[in-house]
Structure 1
Amino acid sequence: CPSLHDRLWTAILQDDTIDFDDIYSSINSVTIDKTVEIGEGVSIALNTVKSTTKVTEHGHWVIAWQEFAEAVFFAFPSKGCELNTYLRHINKLFSVCHTYLHY
């Protein structure tokens, strides 16, 4: 099972949109664990990811895409062809657009 933050897994399984900055940041970030006491003997444990990096170039996108595609394929094996087609399409866009248009 690919290792993604629970929030990203939830979005993938619900077929919600995914921000690749979130995926890329989860690879290159610090996890902050925090427990908040909300009453006597009652507390909430929070795990948050502090965003440290944004997708600003093709290489970043490919790294985030690989994590995303691996997770989607794990959850939905029938989407393999669709994932490969989209990867080829985006790679072509990166190759024909000047780098200042990449982000």
Structure 2
Amino acid sequence: MLKRRKKEFAWNTTDIIHAAILSPAHENVQDQVQLYNESIKEMLKDLDCALGKPEMPDSLWKHVCLDRYVNLDKITSNSFAIEADRTTTIHFGDHSLELPRSKPTTKISNHGQWINAFMVYQDAALFAFKGCNFELKAYFKHINNLFACTNPVYHQCVINYDKVVQIHVGKRRDALLNEFEKFSQYQMAHLESAGVAITSMQGKSRGRSKGRKLDACRNWNNGNCSRTDCRYKHVCINCGSDKHVDTKCPSKECRST
């Protein structure tokens, strides 16, 4: 009954219009997602027995097969894990629910880590989807080029851009990773000097540097500084105590005797 009435869902009434402007590559991904989504449990059971199945944390395979966002940080965290994925089972009468146990997540912080994690994801995606090789290779080249032409100090901006793009694509059926023109607003926000993400990071950096005290204040140690907003620490140069100045330091007097 439900299958017969699916055509009446509001979003399905406009599918013909959307299909007219989408490429065969979009339709290919959509068809395979629909196939896997018909019975997720059976799909995962069959996948578990598949020969040649690439290594990937069990908790992420569902996201891969449904073409959803896959957190590369979790792939990095599991790359050299000395324990297998474990789950906690909760029983509700005759039913049970398996929940993955949380583990510390290692966040990707450099170009090399991103490459390693994306290659693992790419192998899994190519195993689950036919005809996605061009899309994934083009996107890998796109991000790799951004790393190459960006100062290493700002590589976190490239990592953030990649993350927001993959989240965006994972939420839609009308976007592919190699359609870079659809991500111009994210590139502006995370990679351009006037982007909101860049200016936000700079503001936080200035705030931290403004509030950070530097070395001991020499003027205070000489009795010439009483400023409450002094950027230097009002502590003894010799021992770091804020109870006395350098000339009255007990440890200094002990050494002199």
* Both proteins in one fold, TM over 0.5: yes
**Identical residues among aligned pairs (%):** 32
Q: Is the 8 A contact 2:59 2:100 kept in 1?
A: no
The answer for the alignment partner of 1:21 in structure 2 is: 73
Q: 1:28 to 1:49 in 2, by over 3 A?
A: farther
Q: Deviations over 1:15-43 (max 9, x none)?
A: 1111110111121334463656758xx97
Match for residue 146 of structure 2? 93
Relative contact order (alpha carbons < 8 A, sep ≥ 6): 1 or 2 greater? 1
The structure with more radius of gyration: 2
User: 2: CA distance between counterparts of 1:12 and 1:52?
Assistant: 19
Structure 2 residue ranges without an equivalent (≥5): 1-52, 157-257
| 1:82 and 2:135 aligned | yes
SS in 1 for 2:131: helix
Unaligned runs of 5+ in 1: none
Check conservation: 1:35, 1:43, Cα contact below 8 A: no
Structure 1: 4+ residue segments shifted above 6 A: none
Q: CA RMSD in A?
A: 2.5
Matched, 1:60 2:113: yes
| Counterpart residue identity of residue 139, structure 2 | Y
CA 1:102–1:36: 2 relative to 1, 3 Å: same
The structure-2 alpha-carbon separation of the partners of 1:101 and 1:10, relative to structure 1 and needing over 3 Å to count, comes to same
1:69 maps to what in 2?
122
Higher strand proportion: 1
The size of the alignment, in residue pairs, is 103
Query: Corresponding residue for 1:10?
Result: 62
